[in-house]
Chains A and B, each alone.
Chain A
Amino acid sequence: MINASNLTKKYGSKSVLNIKNLEIPKGQSFGLVGNNGAGKTTFFSLLLDLIKPSTGQIINKGIQVNNSEDWKPFTASFIDESFLIGYLTPEEYFYFIGELRGQNKADVDSLLSQFEDFFHGEILNQKKYLRDLSKGNQKKAGIVAALIGNPEVIILDEPFANLDPTTQIRLKTIIKNLAETQEVTVLISSHDLMHVTDVCERIVVLDKGEVIKDLATSAATLKELEAHFAGNETVVKETI
């Protein structure tokens, strides 16, 4: 579905991302982990053509993202609050996104009705503008907006941050469901190793812009990741 080859991003002489080859098949739930500055958001921004690659390219379903805009109809994303339009109510925002994605009000309403649990009564019919919602509730609205219009690729940057525990658990169910039953390719990044191993069938570790681990999630993955980020990987390997 998504293929990045020889992808680099440099600011001056400093390289912030350098991916030789990364292939993400359709329907995979793909997790990206790494410390601050590892290049997670840079990768997502390149994937959404928000910044220009220094070399290489990303192909999304056969379309090179920085040459054509035809990937936009089937790709949805929520990167941060700047994806929200502060002076709209959540409903208006959903309808607006729906309209851009060729969905009428009824389509959007029926999608939203599936997320009543997730919203926990704090998003819809509140008579409030998005800018007046709390950070966590803004995030909920942004994530759900990314699901409108049956996208085939969904990109979520740090979706678990700022959410309360109940919502985190509900979000995990939603993401798993998307990849397993609807064949949606879900890309998420997270600092929370536990969540990411719970949700993703594949986890890639970035460090200083390079892919240093590419794991199919198994029972041992969480341990391995924890060991890696604690910096005592070798010790663990020996004990195994």
Chain B
Amino acid sequence: MKIKHFINLEWKQYFRSAYWQKSMALNILLVFVALYFVVTFLALGIALFPLLKDAFPDQDPLIIVNSYLFYWFLGDLLMRFFFQKLPVMSVKPLLTLPIKRSKVVHYVLGKSSFSFFNFLPLFAIIPFGVMLIINNYPLVSVIFWMVGIFIITLIINYLNFIIESFSSETDFSFLPIIVFAGGLFAINYFNLISFTDLVSSAVSSFYETPFLVVIPILVLIVLYVVNFGKLKNKLYLDSSLKSKSQEVKASNLEWTRKFGDAAPFMQLDLKLIWRNKRPRSSVFLLILGLLYGLVFYPNPVYQDKPWFYAFIGIFVTGIFLINFGQFIPAWDSGYYKMLMSQNIKYKQYLKSKFTLMTVSVVILFILSIPYVYFGWKILLAHLAAAIYNIGINTHVILYGGSFNRKKIDLNQRAAFNYQGTGAVQWLIGIPLMLLPLAIFGASYYFFSFEIGCLLLTVFGLIGIVFHQKLMNLITDKYLDSKYKMIQAFSQDN
């Protein structure tokens, strides 16, 4: 009975929010991305057996698959951490109603097991299992093998929430998962404990002795109970209220005076970033972004693909720009009404954001100079990318901000608050990266690496030259959507 009410409430929350109505295109895009993955997995599931049979005729495909499952599970966990979020539910209004707390928690946890992430592997596992059965593998064993893998998928589902809840309590949002996954990978890689074999033999054991499936089921139950306990504790108002009252760390930011009339907003933005968990974690993301180049540059595979450098350059020098910029002006959504009735010029407000992003690009470029170790071309590509970021991407992202209709609750007092993160956040970065990649890639293909860098630089310089004009254009756009933004930002969901 109650479950029906919950579903009803959420349905309404979702479809009645301003966000849904304004971003139909984004929703459609998400559906396509999901479909793409379904088809890919389906193809993988069907083709895997014959492919393996062809490539390794003297080995059992099932055993090969089992031996790679460890990486599959590890990848699954990482993907989930960055893309899957615990279902959000506004619980505060429910607390005083005659609904058992445990019911709310069961509902939230239960709902998460219906996540797309849990069904996606099935699209690969079931066809593969069917192929096994067709090829005369014993029916019961194969079924239990599939059941076993599905249960492990669910285990990963609940394990992820535990890791997420740890990481949401620290500032280093992604650090626990990196340490956890990296640790497992390293232990396996250096053969301290061979998880590959461990997972492989565990999964094989479901195949050989079906009743052993009981073990992962028990693990699943334990994880569910741990999650349950964690969430139930959060369902008290004071548990989230009490811990939040922090001592103020005041600092005077007099040096921002150099930026003239945008100074008050710069100070505000810096405080915004430093004093709120959400934007603060985007600062820590900078470290990850800076190191991103290390994934590619030392790798000989990419050495002869210089068209790739510009892409990495855009990413490395623009990670703050993308991360912080895409939520302009939603960062200020909590007090947007006040800003709009205050004695301010929109232009100053936007200029402050622009300055902040530009400064970040310059700093990140300087920090990325050591990459020159891998070749002077990288430095050149990074410089071109940085200029492009300053000239074009800052303006694009500011312009895009005028379409922003999703409020961000900086206070984060509500339990279950992970809003504004998830798959959508990453999708918005695509045009910012793909366009320069296209420009650079095309000119590299038709002309040369140097021309590509030159072209990116020229585009960037054009943007910088027309900065004032572009800012006027952007300001007009913001003024234009002022009422809509005020209305959307005063909505709670």
Listed in ascending order, the chain A residues whose CB lies under 8 Å from chain B are: 48-52, 69, 72-73, 75, 77, 79, 82-89, 92, 96-97, 99-102, 127-129, 131-132, 149
The interface-forming segment of B35-43, B194-202, B313-321, B330-338 is B330-338
Contact among B263, B338, B411 for A83, CB-based, below 8 A: B338
Residues of B within 8 A of A82 (CB): 334-338, 490
Our pick among B248, B264, B340 for the contact of A128 (Cβ within 8 Å) is B248
Contact B337 A83 (CB under 8 A): yes
Q: Chain B residues near A127: list those with CB within 8 A.
A: 247-248
Find the residue from A84, A86, A102 having the highest chain B CB count within 10 A.
A86
Give B243 Cβ to nearest chain A Cβ, in Å.
11
Q: Is the Cβ of A100 less than 8 Å from the Cβ of B268?
A: no
Q: Given A97-B342, A129-B246, A129-B275, A84 and B411 touching (CB < 8 A)?
A: no
Shortest beta-carbon distance from A130 to chain B in Å: 10
Given the complex, which residues of A lie within 8 Å of B299, measured CB to CB? none
Chain B residues whose CB sits within 8 angstroms of the CB of A50 once the complex forms:
337, 340-341, 483, 486
Q: List 27 A-B contacts (CB under 8 A).
A: A50-B337, A50-B340, A50-B486, A69-B345, A72-B343, A77-B341, A79-B337, A82-B335, A82-B338, A82-B490, A83-B341, A84-B338, A85-B334, A85-B338, A86-B335, A86-B410, A87-B271, A87-B276, A88-B268, A96-B268, A100-B343, A100-B344, A101-B343, A127-B247, A129-B248, A131-B411, A149-B343
How far apart are the CA atoms of A69 and B341 in the complex, in Å?
9
Residues of B within 8 A of A83 (CB): 335, 337-338, 341
Contacts of B340 in A (CB 8 A): 48-50
Which residue, A48, A49, A50, has most C-beta atoms of chain B within 10 A?
A: A50
Tell me if B28 counts as interface (CB < 8 A to partner A).
no
B250 at the interface (CB under 8 A from A): yes
Question: Which residues of B are at the interface with A, using a C-beta cutoff of 8 A?
Answer: 244-248, 250, 263-264, 267-268, 271-272, 275-276, 334-338, 340-345, 410-411, 483, 486-487, 490
* A72-B411 in contact given A82-B337, A128-B248 (Cβ < 8 Å): no
* B253 CB to nearest A CB, Å: 10
Closest A residue to B250 using CB positions: A89
Distance (whole angstroms) from the CB of B237 to the closest CB of chain A: 14
User: How many angstroms from the CA of A36 to the CA of B490 in the assembled complex?
Assistant: 19
Give Cα distance in the complex from A150 to B411, angstroms.
31
Residues of B within 8 A of A77 (CB): 341
Extra A-B contacts (9), CB below 8 Å, given A87-B276, A101-B343, A129-B248 = A48-B340, A49-B341, A72-B341, A83-B337, A85-B268, A87-B275, A99-B264, A100-B264, A132-B244
- Taking CB as reference atom, which chain B residue is nearest A72? B343
Evaluate whether A48 and B341 lie within 8 angstroms (CB atoms) in the complex, with A85-B268, A129-B248 already known.
yes
The listed residue (A72, A86, A128) touching B342 by CB distance below 8 A is: A72
**A78 vs B410: C-alpha distance in the bound complex, in angstroms?**
20
Structural contact, B264 and A96, CB atoms closer than 8 A: yes
A89 touches B248 (CB 8 A): yes
Minimum distance in angstroms from A225 CB to a CB of chain B: 29
Contacting pair B411 A52 (CB below 8 A): no
CB within 8 Å: A-B pair count:
79
Could you tell me the distance in whole angstroms from the C-beta of A71 to the nearest C-beta in chain B? Answer: 9
Alpha-carbon gap, A100 to B276, bound state (A): 23
Smallest Cβ-Cβ distance to A73: which chain B residue? B343
A51-B486, A82-B334, A86-B410 known; A100 vs B342 contact (CB < 8 Å): yes
Beta-carbon contact of A88 and B271 below 8 Å: yes
Write the nearest CB–CB distance from A114 to chain B, whole angstroms: 21
Please state if B335 and A84 are interface contacts (CB–CB under 8 Å). yes
Task: Please classify the interface of chain A as helix (H, G, I), strand (E, B), loop, or mixed, using the class held by over half of its residues.
Answer: loop
Inter-chain contacts of B337 with A (CB < 8 A) = 50, 79, 82-83
Residues of A close to B410: CB separation below 8 A = 86-87
Q: Give the chain A neighbours of B244 by CB distance below 8 A.
A: 131-132
* Chain B, Cβ-Cβ closest to A97: B342
Q: Which residue of chain B lies nearest to A95 when distances are taken between CB atoms in the complex? A: B264
Select one of B250, B276, B342, B344 contacting A92, CB under 8 A: B250
A99's nearest neighbour on chain B, judged by CB, is: B264
What are the 4 A-B residue pairs with the smallest beta carbon separation, nearest first?
A83-B338, A48-B341, A87-B275, A99-B264
A193 to B410, CA, bound (A): 36
Contact of A92 with B271 at beta-carbon distance under 8 Å, contacts A100-B344, A101-B343, A129-B248 already known: yes
A89 to B268, CA, bound (A): 12
Tell me the nearest residue of chain A to B274, going by C-beta. A87
A128 touching B245 by the CB < 8 A rule?
Answer: yes
Cα distance A179–B238 in the bound complex, in angstroms: 42
Q: Which residues of A contact B487 (CB under 8 A)?
A: 51
Q: Which of A84, A92, A99 has the most CB of B within 10 A?
A: A99
Closest to A126 in B: B248
With A79-B337, A82-B338 in contact, do A51 and B247 touch (Cβ < 8 Å)?
no
Task: Quote the shortest CB–CB distance from A135 to chain B (angstroms).
Answer: 13
A157 to B341, CA, bound (A): 14
Quote the shortest CB–CB distance from A232 to chain B (angstroms).
36
B272 touches A87 (CB 8 A): yes
In contact, A72 and B344 (Cβ under 8 angstroms)? yes
- State the CA gap A49–B340 with chains docked (Å): 8
Q: Which residues of B contact A51 (CB under 8 A)?
A: 483, 486-487
Structural contact, B341 and A86, CB atoms closer than 8 A: no
A132 to B335, CA, bound (A): 16
Distance A53 CA – B396 CA, assembled complex (angstroms): 31
A100 to B263 Cα, complex, angstroms? 10
Q: How far is the CB of A48 from chain B (nearest CB, A)?
A: 4
* Whole-angstrom CA separation of A128 from B334 in the bound complex: 18
Please report the C-alpha to C-alpha distance between residue A149 and residue B411 in the assembled complex, in whole angstroms.
Answer: 28
Closest A residue to B335 by beta carbon equals A85
Of all chain B residues, the one with the shortest Cβ separation from A77 is B341
Q: Given A129-B246, A132-B245, decide whether A86 and B411 contact each other with a Cβ distance below 8 A.
A: yes
A128 to B264, CA, bound (A): 20
What's the least CB distance linking A43 to chain B, in Å? 14
Give the residues in chain A near B264, CB-CB below 8 Å: 96, 99-100
- Smallest CB separation, A183 vs chain B (Å): 20
Closest to B263 in A: A99
Cβ–Cβ < 8 Å partners of B336 in chain A: 82
User: Could you say which residues of chain B place their CB within 8 Å of the CB of A92?
Assistant: 250, 271
Measured between alpha carbons, how far is A101 from B338 in the docked complex, in Å?
A: 13
- The interface residues of chain A lying within 8 Å CB-to-CB of B267 are 96
A209 to B318, CA, bound (A): 50
B484: nearest residue on chain A (CB-CB)? A52
Q: With A and B bound together, what is the CA distance between A97 and B265 in angstroms?
A: 11
- Cα separation A128 to B335 with both chains bound (whole Å): 18
Report Cα–Cα, A132/B486, bound state, in Å.
Answer: 24
Nearest residue, chain A, Cβ from B276: A87
